[in-house]
């Protein structure tokens, strides 16, 4: 079975990169036990402190879509939206072939 991957950058308004990262780390805790979640990684490039990268691996796109129904996730999205510098860009959808560290 091919896994579903997403990789994208979210840009916060000036000075809000740390706040955005904190919200995304809370989301990671909520979805860590969601069905099909293999990886939810929040990262930041130190040269661009208001940009936060999210890399996700799921068993299927359906599992990813269902993660939005996990209690608390929609509330975190609501907290994150005002911190964004513009509309979120669509991330890269990836076909995950394998690797190390996927549970």
The CATH number of whichever domain residue 14 belongs to comes to: 3.30.70.100
In a domain, 29, yes or no: yes
In a domain, 92, yes or no: yes
In a 13 Å sphere around the CA of 82, the CA atoms on its Cβ side amount to: 4
Looking at the DSSP bridge assignments, the partners of residue 4 are 58, 95
Contact yes or no for 40/76 (Cβ under 8 A): no
Tens of pLDDT, residues 17-28: 999 999 999 999
In a domain, 16, yes or no: yes
In a domain, 71, yes or no: yes
pLDDT value of residue 90 = 77
Give me the number of domains the chain comprises: 1
Instruction: Tell me the pTM.
Output: 0.89
Tens of pLDDT, residues 48-71: 999 999 999 999 999 999 999 999
In a domain, 101, yes or no: no
- Print the domain residue range for 78: 3-96
Residues in the chain: 103
In a domain, 64, yes or no: yes
């Amino acid at each position: 079975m091919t896994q579903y991957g997403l990789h994208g950058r979210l840009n916060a308004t000036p000075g809000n990169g740390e706040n955005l990262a904190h919200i995304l780390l809370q989301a990671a805790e909520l979805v860590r036990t969601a069905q099909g979640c293999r990886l939810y990684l929040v990262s930041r490039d130190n040269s661009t402190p208001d940009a936060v990268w999210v890399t996700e691996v799921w068993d299927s796109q359906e599992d990813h879509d269902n993660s939005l129904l996990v209690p608390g996730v929609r509330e975190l999205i609501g907290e994150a939206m005002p911190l964004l510098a513009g509309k979120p860009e669509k991330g890269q959808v990836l076909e995950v072939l394998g690797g190390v560290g996927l549970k």
